[in-house]
Chain A
Amino acid sequence: GAGVSQSPSNKVTEKGKDVELRCDPISGHTALYWYRQSLGQGLEFLIYFQGNSAPDKSGLPSDRFSAERTGGSVSTLTIQRTQQEDSAVYLCASSSGLPNTGELFFGEGSRLTVL
């Protein structure tokens, strides 16, 4: 498709398990963002990529969280040893990457529930 694709759309896991969330951005978009949104809350910035590099990882909540992007395209957000407070919707967005371009195109999100 032409939009940002995220998988899985829904993930239920047990506390302590690792999870991987995938994002496939719009073709040609060089910038890719991960945000987290807890129920009734705003968007919490996690990390962004320009190409395969992550200039800003300041939003990652702990060292249990990591992300990578390969080939300037698909990105994976990994959460190790999940905790209940990790339950949220994880949103991925991509943009053209031009300076000051705040036009982000969001995926439908991956809803993570940690039991």
Chain B
Amino acid sequence: QKEVEQNSGPLSVPEGAIASLNCTYSDRGSQSFFWYRQYSGKSPELIMSIYSNGDKEDGRFTAQLNKASQYVSLLIRDSQPSDSATYLCAPFGGAQKLVFGQGTRLTINP
């Protein structure tokens, strides 16, 4: 079992719709969770962090965490073409290191 699993996509969403990205992780020692965005040919950049069960909203982005189910998700509302990128889920594990999933490639269609 991979430490972090994401659907590699591509996920295609019409402009203005909600994009839903999912991630499961295996390390129950993980206490904090991060979403990174990576544009093609660029380095990853942090867009969201979540530490407690429930939802955390930041602008058009909402992160959701369920530690019992070892599940974290990212919702992007009112999707824009500029949101087209690969989204990487990254739990901060008990070994004090950030482990990345393979990423979900998201395409927003105008």
Contact size range, B:
20 to 34
Give A41's nearest chain B residue, CB to CB: B102
Task: Report B100 CB to chain A, min CB distance, Å.
Answer: 4
Asked whether, in the complex, the Cβ of B49 is within 8 Å of the Cβ of A102, the reply is yes
**Assembly CA distance A102 to B89 (angstroms):** 11
Task: Report A97 CB to chain B, min CB distance, Å.
Answer: 9
- Does A86 belong to the interface (CB within 8 Å)? no
- Does A71 belong to the interface (CB within 8 Å)? no
- Does A42 belong to the interface (CB within 8 Å)? yes
Asked whether, in the complex, the Cβ of B97 is within 8 Å of the Cβ of A42, the reply is no
**Assembly CA distance A102 to B94 (angstroms):** 12
B-side contacts of A99, CB under 8 Å: 96
- Does A25 belong to the interface (CB within 8 Å)? no
Asked whether, in the complex, the Cβ of A43 is within 8 Å of the Cβ of B44, the reply is yes
Per the 8 Å Cβ criterion, residues 88-109 of A in contact with B are: 91, 99-104, 106-109
B-side contacts of A100, CB under 8 Å: 31-32, 51, 92, 96
Given A43-B88, A91-B43, A102-B49, also A33-B97 (CB < 8 A): yes
B-side contacts of A91, CB under 8 Å: 43-44
Q: Which of A42, A48, A91, A107 has the most CB of B within 10 A?
A: A42
- Does A55 belong to the interface (CB within 8 Å)? yes
**Assembly CA distance A107 to B102 (angstroms):** 19
Contact with A along B74-107 (1 / 0, CB 8 A): 0000000000000010111001111111110000
Which positions in B face A, CB cutoff 8 Å?
31-34, 43-46, 49, 51, 88, 90-92, 95-103
A sample of 8 more A-B contacts (CB under 8 A), given A48-B97, A99-B96, A102-B91, is A35-B100, A42-B88, A50-B96, A55-B96, A100-B32, A102-B98, A107-B43, A108-B43
